[in-house]
Amino acid sequence: MSEAKKRLETIFGHVRDGQTPSVTMKLASNGSRYRYTQDGGILSDDQRKFYEENGYLVVKDLVSPSELQTYKDRFQSICCHDVTIPGLTIMRDVAIAKSEYQPGERAVTKIQDFQFDDVLFKYCTLPSIIPYVSSVVGDDIMSMHTMLINKPPDPGSKSSRHPMHQDLHYFPFRPADLIVCSWTAMEHVHRQNGCLVVLPGTHRTGVLLQHEYPKWEGGVNKMYHGIRDYDPSFPRAHLEMGPGDTVFFHPLLIHGSGMNRTSGFRKAISCHYASSHCHYIDVVGTVQEQLAREVEGVAKKRLGENVEFSYKDLWKVKGRLVQGKEGNLSIF
């Protein structure tokens, strides 16, 4: 068994034995008993403890219905090609897109990289969200990855599922503890329409596991990598959330989402933030190299075979300062 798997087993062994997940929190390098959250922020002591132990925290009603409606309207305009946003990627469901031409949002699973769209980017700067982000990453904040996820009704292929993964798999910057995702439900999300599923405490392994495309019969959406040899018996939590509720989670937290068994779309908007004091790493020779090659291949098709760039360069274009001092993560 690999070192990473052993650490997962150690965490989940306790849970299977009926104990609470082990709370052997390492001291942060500054001697604080908290490692994953910052002193002096908006989080209550209970919220800090919850995030430290579990790697996520749900906060209710952080985004207003009118704000959510603005994002929904913008998403519709993008899907209907009424507006074009530079750098934006529109991703489609592998099974729906193949079967027949579907207009509008029907086959769209997500749009990503909306950092140059001031309507959607407003989400990343919301005064209700940022204090939670700075409680994890500090006051100098970059947005690094933006998505509006639109889980369509499953066409019967089960391809609307998102395999269990760690977001750090995609990120060529560190340290992981200075990265956090905010994910806001844009409507009631529940087990039937494919809410987020998390494995509490898995951020504490400190290990990025090997990912690959799962071997699903109905096909897997592009870039939906999942953890290799994932053990479905690990204890999981289903995050049922109301519109505007927001979950903040660590990039090593193992998570995914279920199939959408309803006839409606399940929408969420998210931003991954990093401290601008994070630095890029070289992913060559690591578990991230294969993914980086795949992403570079897609970018070559878009930008042209003769354009020279690295995986880091692609991320530098995605980064945008949200608050505080600029660091090394963006070219702007």
* Chain contacts with ligand AKG (rule: CB under 6 A): 147, 149, 151, 162, 167, 196, 255, 257, 268
On the question of a cis peptide bond just before residue 214, with omega within 30 degrees of 0, the verdict is no
Smallest gap from Cβ 220 to ligand AKG, in A, equals: 13
Q: Which residue, 140 or 168, is less far from ligand AKG as judged by CB?
A: 168
Quick one: DSSP state of residue 213? Answer: -
What's the min distance (Å) between Cβ of 258 and ligand AKG?
8
Dist. CA 52–CA 31, nearest whole Å: 15
Measured from the CB of residue 18, what is the shortest distance to ligand AKG in angstroms? 29
Q: Reduced to 3 states, what is the DSSP secondary structure of residue 325? A: coil
* Residue 245, C-beta contacts closer than 8 angstroms, at least 6 positions apart: 58, 59, 60, 61, 62, 184, 185
* Smallest separation, CB 27 to ligand AKG (Å): 30
Amino acid letter, residue 124: C
In contact, 177 and 138? CB cutoff 8 Å: no
Both tokens assigned to 72? 């929904």
Cα 182 to its chain centre, rounded Å, is 8
How near is the Cβ of 24 to ligand AKG at its closest, in Å?
27
Provide the minimum distance between the beta carbon of 211 and ligand AKG in the complex, in angstroms, as a whole number.
Answer: 11
Q: Which is nearer to ligand AKG, 53 or 167 (CB)?
A: 167
Q: Could you tell me the smallest distance in angstroms from the CB atom of residue 257 to ligand AKG?
A: 3
Tell me whether residue 78 or residue 168 sits nearer to ligand AKG (CB atom).
168
For 161, the enclosing helix (H) or strand (E) is none
CA–CA gap between residue 159 and residue 284 (Å, rounded)? 30
Q: Which is nearer to ligand AKG, 140 or 198 (CB)?
A: 198
**Cβ–Cβ under 8 Å, residues 148 and 204:** no
Residue type, 202: T
Closer residue to ligand AKG, CB minimum distance, 48 or 162 = 162
Choose between 38 and 201: whose C-beta lies nearer to ligand AKG.
201
Nearest residue to the partner ligand AKG, using Cβ: 257
Place of tokens 């991320």: 315
Angle, helices 311-318 vs 289-303, to 10°: value is 70
C-beta of 21 vs 256, nearer to ligand AKG: 256
The answer to whether 274 and 178 are in contact (CB under 8 A) is yes
